[in-house]
Amino acid sequence: MNETTYDLCDRSLFTEGPPLDLFRELREHTPVAHFPEPDGPGFWGVFRYDDVVEVSRHPQQFASAPAVFIQDPADPTVTQELLINQDPPKHTKLRKLVNRGFTPRQINALEPHVREIVVGLLDHAQAMGSFDLVHDLAVELPLAVIAEMVGVPHEERHQVFAWTERMMSNDDDDQAAVQADAQIAIGEMFAYADQLIASRVDGDGTDLLSVLLRADVDGEALSQFEVDVFFMLLMNAGSETTRNLITGGTLALFEHPEQRARLAANPDLLPSAIEEMLRWVTPVMHFRRTAQEDLEIAGQSIAAGDKVVMWYTSANRDDAQFPDAATFDVARTPNDHVAFGAGGPHFCLGASLARLEARILFEELLARMPTLEQAGDPVRLKSNFINGIKSLPVRLA
Ligand code: HEM
């Protein structure tokens, strides 16, 4: 077996950002290798672009159930109901339901409102002069947008955010306590979602919660529990990811002043710059699949039931796919990165929304804050899953 001595569940490997040198070494020497996990059988890590695409596009061989996170949940009650952990045919039906709220036409129609939110946040930040890019901007934009789309009252969005933080971005060293607290946060969030549901049952609202409540899957409505779980997925996925694209993207511009100047002089490059930020940052670093039969990946035998983890971060730095992959190039084309997944049925539902939010934010930020500069070191989230930044002090020079 291609066993390695590295432990990718050891979060201290990620304190300075993703271990890109290690990923390069793995791509070159052991592109499919076996890693340990605490209290579990371990997993196969897949590091090359082509292999990540291969796994992602063959859902019959590589299933999403029982979970797309490395460790199996202690209690599968909630996990098995999450869209992201499901396989056809149930996944196909549920995905169709939410797709309706995320068509490119619907997302593009949000542009004026998203711009209004961005301008409000930038005005506020400008008045402060010095501010925290994460706390004052990167967190607020995606949260305000997804809360409104789902149907969370504006003044209650921070409460919901506090729950998503406890589930996705808690990097305390006592991981057992983190897991226990996440369970409590889930319970509290479901109780809150139940209240929102109760106020809508007979309504004809247009928010996603109302749409889910009216949904019909083969003649049956979704149960209250199923709607609660959807609510949780949309709020978590909508607010815990795009914020790190915004922060990581801004940091990349600070670290590459020549690319920032090029972008400021050519705003037409923004769409390709956003794609490059997605590749560069890769806010979601991996997802897992489970092999459904004995098979091979790049010549390595994998047994039915084995866990297979696609390292998007590594695939996005693969020189075989991206010439000069270690260079941040705001004009890079083509740029078929896998930050939203590598194709297949689970491709990120919110990709167009995340792109829209980032494009408008950077359009306005570059135009209104040309003198924005870093005022301190970023504080990184200690995680092997979310490439996160918890704080980034900035100021207007
Ligand atoms: C930069 C921001 C984002 C990144 C990097 C990201 C990344 C991802 C990735 C890697 C996947 C899994 C793809 C796969 O397995 O093939 C995914 C799935 C998903 N994303 Fe995103 N995402 C982002 C923003 C959003 C937003 C704003 C939403 C809004 C609701 C969202 C909702 C979802 C949902 C619901 C799924 C599961 C889809 C399914 O299982 O069918 N994401 N995302």
| Model pLDDT for residues 104-129, shown as the tens digit of each residue | 889 999 999 999 999 999 999 999 99
CB of 274 closer than 8 Å to CB of 355: yes
Which residue has tokens 């979602």?
Answer: 193
- Choose one of 143, 277, 349 to mutate for the ligand 1 pocket test, by most ligand atoms within 8 angstroms of C-beta: 349
* % of the chain exceeding 90 in pLDDT: 88
Q: Walk me through the domains of the chain, giving residue ranges and CATH numbers.
A: 11-382 (1.10.630.10)
Average pLDDT of the chain to the nearest whole number: 95
> DSSP state, 69?
S
End-to-end distance of the chain based on CA atoms, in angstroms?
55
The residues facing 44 across adjacent strands are: 34, 308
3-state secondary structure of 238: helix
- 22-60 tens-digit pLDDT: 999 999 999 999 999 998 999 999 999 999 999 999 999
Bridge-based pairing of strands 62-63 and 286-291 is antiparallel
Range list of H helices, 256-350: 257-265, 270-281, 312-315
- 83 touches ligand 1 (CB under 6 Å): yes
Residues 6+ apart with CB under 8 A from 226: 81
Residues 6+ apart with CB under 8 A from 216: none
Angle at 185 between CA 18 and CA 387, to 5 degrees: 10
**Average pLDDT of the residues in 237-243:** 94
Polymer length in residues for the chain: 397
Q: What is the pLDDT of residue 220?
A: 86
**282 CA to centre of ligand 1 in angstroms:** 12
- 347 touches ligand 1 (CB under 6 Å): yes
- 338 touches ligand 1 (CB under 6 Å): no
Q: What is the pLDDT of residue 100?
A: 84
- 283 touches ligand 1 (CB under 6 Å): yes
Phi, then psi, of 169 in degrees rounded to 5: -125, 35
Q: Could you give the CA distance from residue 186 to residue 296 in angstroms, rounded to a whole number? A: 38
* pTM, to two decimals: 0.97
